[in-house]
Copies of this chain bind each other. A is one copy, B any other.
Amino acid sequence: MAKEPDRPSEMAAIARYFRPLATAPGALGLFDDAAILRQLAGEDLVLSTDMLVEGIHFFANDPPDLVAAKALRVSLSDLAAKGAEPLHYLLSLALRSDWTESWLSGFSEGLRREQQQFRITLAGGDTVRASGGTTINVSVIGRQPSGSFVHRTGAKPGDFVAVTGTIGDAALGLLVRQGRITLPREEGEYLVNRYLLPQPRVALAPALRQHASAALDVSDGLVGDFAKLCAASGVSGEIARPAVPLSVPARRAVATYAPAFDTALTGGDDYEILVAVPENEADALAAAASEVGVALSFIGRIVSGEDEPKIFDEGGQVLSFDGTSYSHF
A residues 117-175 in Cβ contact with B at 8 Å? 123-135, 137, 139, 141-142, 146, 149, 151-153
Selected contact of A31 from candidates B1, B47, B56, B232, CB within 8 Å: B232
Contact B129 A328 (CB under 8 A): yes
Whether a CB of chain B sits under 8 angstroms from the CB of A217 is yes
- Closest B residue to A232 by beta carbon equals B31
Measured CA separation A54–B94 after assembly (Å): 11
**Given A10-B327, A132-B130, residue A35 in contact with residue B48 (CB < 8 A):** yes
Whether a CB of chain B sits under 8 angstroms from the CB of A45 is yes
Whether a CB of chain B sits under 8 angstroms from the CB of A53 is yes
**Number of copies of this chain in the oligomer?**
2
Looking at A42, A94, A135, A139, the one whose CB has the most chain B CB atoms below 10 A away is A139
Selected contact of A132 from candidates B78, B88, B91, B132, CB within 8 Å: B132
Chain B residues within an 8 Å CB radius of A92: 49-51, 137
Contact A32 B152 (CB under 8 A): yes
**Given A13-B329, A135-B131, A216-B33, residue A38 in contact with residue B44 (CB < 8 A):** yes
Contact B78 A47 (CB under 8 A): no
Looking at A46, A55, A329, the one whose CB has the most chain B CB atoms below 10 A away is A329
Measured CA separation A213–B175 after assembly (Å): 58
Q: Tell me the minimal C-beta distance from A278 to chain B in angstroms.
A: 20
Selected contact of A139 from candidates B44, B46, B90, CB within 8 Å: B90
A-B interface, 8 closest residue pairs, ranked by CB to CB distance from nearest:
A132-B132, A10-B329, A131-B133, A41-B41, A39-B39, A51-B92, A137-B137, A131-B132
Q: Which residues of A contact B (CB under 8 A)?
A: 1, 3, 9-10, 13, 28, 31-57, 78-79, 81-82, 84, 88, 90-95, 123-135, 137, 139, 141-142, 146, 149, 151-153, 216-217, 232, 327-329
